[in-house]
Amino acid sequence: MRTLTISGILIAFTIAIALWAQDAIPRTQATPAARRIIQTTDGQTLQGQVLSEGMTDLQLRTDDKKIRLLRKADGNRYRLVTSQADWPTYNGDPSGNRYSKLTQIDKSNVGRLAPRWMFPMPGATTIENTPLVVDGIMYVSQANECWALDAGTGRVIWRYRRERTRGVSGNAAGGFNRGVAVAGDRVFMLTDNAHMISLGRSDGELLWETEMADWHQNYNGTSAPLTVGNLVISGTAGGDEGVRGFVAAFDQTTGKEVWRFWTVPLPGEPGSETWKGKELEHRSGATWMTGTYDPALDIVYWPVGNPGPDYDGSEREGDNLYTDSILALEAKTGKLKWYYQFTPHDVHDWDAQEPPVLVDTNWQGQPRKLLLQANRNGFFYVLDRTNGQLLLGKQYLRKLNWAEPTIGKDGRPILKDLPKDANGDTYVCPGFQGGANWYSTSFNPTTGLYYFSSLERCNNFSARRGEWQAGKGYMGGTARPAPGESFEKFLRAINIQTGEVAFDVPQVTTPQTASAGVISTASGLVFYGENSGSFMAVDAANGKILWQFPTNQVWKASPMTYMFDNKQYVAIAVGTDIVSFGLPE
C-alpha cells in the first residue's frame, strides 16, 4: 500500500488547485506551435500557424491574422476555399424567415442526400443552437463554449470555453445555448449567467464582457443575440423563475449598454395599470428568443414571454402588459413604436417566443409589409408590421377550446368559460407546450405557404399560490397530460392569405415531444426534424415525403443551409453532434 507524506499531500493539493484555476479561467483552445509554408494553385505563398489538418484539408492562420481554409490539390499545392452563400444570423436573415434561395439540392436529387461530416461537441448533453457560417467558417455553441469550424469538414479552428456557473437556475443550468451572432471581426454570445461577451472571430480571444443582469435573481442566458448596425441586442431567460424581462442593446466595440426596454412596467409607467394585485415584484415577461429586424423601417421586433407566476393569475389581474406580446422597438434607441399582445392575462404559459417572421408580399392584392407568427396559443397571426394592425387571426389547431376560432375585431381573443373539475383542474387545449413553440418557421414566397411544426395536445391545469425564491421555479401551479390522452404532431402548412391549413404531414407519436424547426428553399423543399428523430425533406407544394434520414435522437434544434466550395450543405444539431448533409461527389 502506498503511503502519502504531508509534503506529498501538499504537492498534490497544489497541483489540484492549479488545474482547477486553469479550468476556471476563460480560454481558447491552445494554439498549435507548428508553422507551415505552402504554395497555392493561384500562385500565392502563404505561411502561418497550422490550426488543424486532415488528409485533404488544412486550416492555417497566416501572419496577417487571417484564417485560410485549404484543400490539397496537385503535387504539394493547396487550393483556397470558402463559402459562396453564408448563414450569418440565427435565422439566416434578420427577417427571421428561414427561407433559402439556394437551389443546388432540389426535388430531383434530394433523395441522394447524405452526411458529409459531423462534429461531436465534447461534454454536451443536448444541443439547441443553430450553426452560423461566415466566410467559410462555422460557429457553433453550447453553454459557455464556442467553436469555430471549417464549414466544409467540421475541423476545429479554435475553441472558447469557460466553466459553467454553479447554482445558475433555469434552462441555462441544463447547458442550453441557442447560438451566437457575428459582425465584422467579432463573435457575440450569452453566457449561462446572463453576461454578453465578445470574442475575436479569428482566434476566439475574449475582447469584452458585460453583465446584463444578476444571475442570483434567476436571470440566465440561453438565446442567440441579434446584430443591428453597431449594436448587439439580446434579452435573457428566466421567465419561469420570476425575473423582470427586458431587451438590451450593447455597443459592439466596447460592450457598453446603449439602451434597455423593460417588458414589465413599474408602477406609474405606461402599462402598469394592467397589473393589479399584491405580488407584483416577479412578473416575468422574459425575452429568451432572438428578435427580428427590418432595416428599411429600422425597427427591431422582439417576442416577449409569459407573465409570472405562470399558472396563477389571482394576484396579477389585468392584461399584464407587455407579456405574450410582440414589441416593435426603434433600433437606435429602444423606444416603443407599437406592441401587439396575443394572450392577455395568460395563465397557461403561452409565451410569444415563436419566431416573428417578416415578409414583404401582396396582401389582398396590395403590396404590404407583414409580420407572421404561429403563436403558442394556437392562433396564426398576420400583422402589418409598420403599425401593428391585426390583419388576420385564426385558429390553426384542431384542438382548441379556450377561445372562439377567430380573433375579435378588437384584436383580442374571444374567451370561452372553461369549467373546473372536482379536483379544481381545468382541461385546456392546447397544453402548456402550445400549438407551436420557439423552433424555426418558414414562409416560402413561391408557394405562399407558411411551414411550422404543430403540436395537438391538451393539459389539465391547476393553480396554486407560491412564493418567489432565488434559484427556484415560479410556476404557480401545474400542467399535466390529460389521463388517457396522447398527442399528435404535424408539419403544418398554412395559406397566409386565409389562415387555412393547406396540408399536414403526420409525425410519429413517441414518449417525448421533439423541438425541431423547419427551413424551406427556392428549389421547392421543406427540411424539418420529425418527432421520432428522422431528418426529413418534403415537397413544399404538397408535403410529399422525398427523403428521410433516421438519427434516433430527440430534436432540440432547427436546420440551416449554406454553400461551401460551390456545394450546398444542410446542417442541423443532432443530439450532441453537428451534422452537415450534402450531395455525393
Verify whether residue 298 is a known catalytic residue: no
Distance separating alpha carbons of residues 131 and 564, to the nearest angstrom: 14
Apex 167 CA angle, 164 and 170, nearest 5: 85
Residue 237, CA atoms < 13 Å, CB-side half-sphere: 25
- Could you tell me how many helices (H) and strands (E) the chain has, helices first? 1, 43
Output the CA torsion sign for 295, 453, 571, 512. positive
Q: DSSP letter for 17, please.
A: H
Q: What residues form DSSP beta bridges with 156?
A: 149
Distance separating alpha carbons of residues 438 and 515, to the nearest angstrom: 8
Beta strands (DSSP E) in 387-500 are 389-395, 426-428, 442-444, 449-456, 459-463, 477-481, 488-495
Three-class DSSP category at 570: strand
Q: Which amino acid is at 460?
A: N
- Identify the burial level of 517 via C-beta atoms within 10 angstroms of its C-beta, where 0-12 means exposed, 13-18 middle and 19 or more buried: buried
Which of the following is catalytic: 203, 349, 351, 425? 349
Q: Which of 394, 358, 359, 357 minimizes the C-alpha distance to 377? A: 394
CB distance 61 to 48 below 8 Å: yes
Instruction: Please give the distance of CA 5 from its chain centroid, rounded to a whole number.
Output: 53
Distance separating alpha carbons of residues 48 and 61, to the nearest angstrom: 5
Q: Within a 10 A sphere around the Cβ of 127, how many other Cβ atoms? A: 27
Q: Measuring CA to CA, how many Å separate 158 from each of 29, 32, 118, 207, 465?
A: 6, 10, 16, 15, 49
Residue 441, CA atoms < 13 Å, CB-side half-sphere: 31
Distance separating alpha carbons of residues 335 and 133, to the nearest angstrom: 32
Q: Which of 46, 32, 34 minimizes the C-alpha distance to 76? A: 46
Three-class DSSP category at 524: coil
Pairing type for strands 577-582 and 567-574 reads antiparallel
Distance separating alpha carbons of residues 170 and 277, to the nearest angstrom: 26
Give Cβ neighbours of residue 33 (< 8 Å, ≥ 6 apart).
49
Backbone angles phi, psi at 478, to 5 degrees: -140, 160
Q: DSSP letter for 402, please.
A: S
Q: Within a 10 A sphere around the Cβ of 384, how many other Cβ atoms? A: 16
- Identify the burial level of 565 via C-beta atoms within 10 angstroms of its C-beta, where 0-12 means exposed, 13-18 middle and 19 or more buried: middle
Q: At 488, list the grid cell.
A: 399528435
Q: At 207, list the grid cell.
A: 475582447
Q: What residues form DSSP beta bridges with 53?
A: 58
Residues acting as catalytic residues: 349
